[in-house]
Structure 1
Amino acid sequence: MLAYIGLGSNLNNPKQQIKNALIALNDTQDVKVVALSSLYQSPPIDGSKQPDYINAMCQVDTHLTALELLYVCQAIEVKQHRVREKKWGARTIDLDIIIYGVQVVASKQLIIPHPEMMNRAFVLVPLAEIEPDLKVPILGNVQDLIDKLDISGLKKL
């Protein structure tokens, strides 16, 4: 199964945090990172006073279920000292499953496609970099979604 995972960090050397998370993902049994976007810098989505975020998107090939992949992502976050103090707060690492094949998942633990992806340039632009013609389940073509957003605050590194 091909899945797309968004990575983000704005604490403790964000570029290294993303690199460490990618290594951990790739070292996980039944998960192989097969594509990676460029890094992108963006301001916090809530406008709060915290450092800008560094974001990327990776494509993984996995035999894990979506829920098992979520648990892998959460374990990596814990290993990299992710603290969940407040919504949209600063973080060492954030791993979000954005798309999992063509599946639509709506459970207490996980919603796929990611419910906010269509509002986030830092998700859609790197996603389109990896797969420009991607059709997002329920939402449509990734480029059409980007065309509806203001992407002026996003900076490719």
Structure 2
Amino acid sequence: MNNVYLSIGTNMGDRFENLQHAVKLLTENKEIEVVHTSSVYETAAVGYTDQADFLNIAVHIKTSYSSSEMLKICQWIESELGRVREFRWGPRIIDLDILLYNHEDIETESLIVPHPRMYERAFVLVPLIEITPTPVGEQLQRAHDIMQQMDCKEEGVTLWRASAELKMMQPVN
């Protein structure tokens, strides 16, 4: 089984419901096991800043899918939830990014792992660190090291809803 870490974000419509729906679609796939879901964090937009704040989570999954197959699943979920790509860093109903895939470095025309900007963004690192308190591998260790140097308030990341309040987002065993 492959260990995959995803970042999921949304800033349109019912943001919390969008996150729940994305996680639900992941859990409904028989080839995906949702291992852990982070708390929900609210963050200011990056890049194009004239838009609503985002809600962001990190999700650890185990899957038999290859990285390219997982990318297709993420894109299918985005499409299923109504994502329209109007312009880079614009508002979106949902965004699923593959942050890490095992401990691999992947670079294809359609996928770069680790995600090329994950180490620069507190809104990605804060939830990722929450679900990986003990870093395993060089990529997660780097994420932990960078987070120790970041000021989350300065970066605009605030806890919106603690993971203990997210029972409906956790997988049912």
User: TM-score, normalised to structure 1's length?
Assistant: 0.95
Partner amino acid for 1:155? Answer: T
Q: Report the Cα distance in structure 1 between the residues aligned to 2:125 and 2:135, rounded to whole angstroms.
A: 10
What is the aligned residue count? 157
The SS at the match of 1:141 is helix
How far is the alpha carbon of 1:46 from its aligned partner? 2.0
Q: Which residue of 2 aligns with 1:57?
A: 58
Q: Which residue of 2 aligns with 1:36?
A: 37
Q: Report the Cα distance in structure 1 between the residues aligned to 2:139 and 2:55, rounded to whole angstroms.
A: 27
The SS at the match of 2:73 is helix
After superposition, what is the alpha-carbon deviation per residue over 1:50-92, rounded to whole angstroms, capped at 9, x for unaligned? 1100000000010000110000000000010101011100000
Q: Which residue of 2 aligns with 1:96?
A: 97
Residue 115 (structure 1) aligned with residue 116 (structure 2): yes
Task: Give unpaired runs (5+ residues) of structure 1.
Answer: none
Task: Give unpaired runs (5+ residues) of structure 2.
Answer: 161-173
Q: Report the Cα distance in structure 2 between the residues aligned to 1:140 and 1:8, rounded to whole angstroms.
A: 23
Matches within 5 A, 1:2-151: 2-46=3-47, 48-135=49-136, 137=138, 140-151=141-152
* CA contact 1:2–1:100 (8 Å) conserved in 2: yes
The SS at the match of 1:49 is coil
Distance 1:136 1:94, change over 3 A: farther
Q: Which residue of 2 aligns with 1:155?
A: 158
Percent identity between matched residues is 34
* CA contact 2:5–2:60 (8 Å) conserved in 1: yes
* CA contact 1:135–1:141 (8 Å) conserved in 2: no
* CA contact 1:37–1:56 (8 Å) conserved in 2: yes
How far is the alpha carbon of 1:139 from its aligned partner? 7.3
How far is the alpha carbon of 1:135 from its aligned partner? 4.4
The SS at the match of 2:24 is helix
* CA contact 2:129–2:143 (8 Å) conserved in 1: yes
User: TM-score, normalised to structure 2's length?
Assistant: 0.86
How far is the alpha carbon of 1:140 from its aligned partner? 3.9
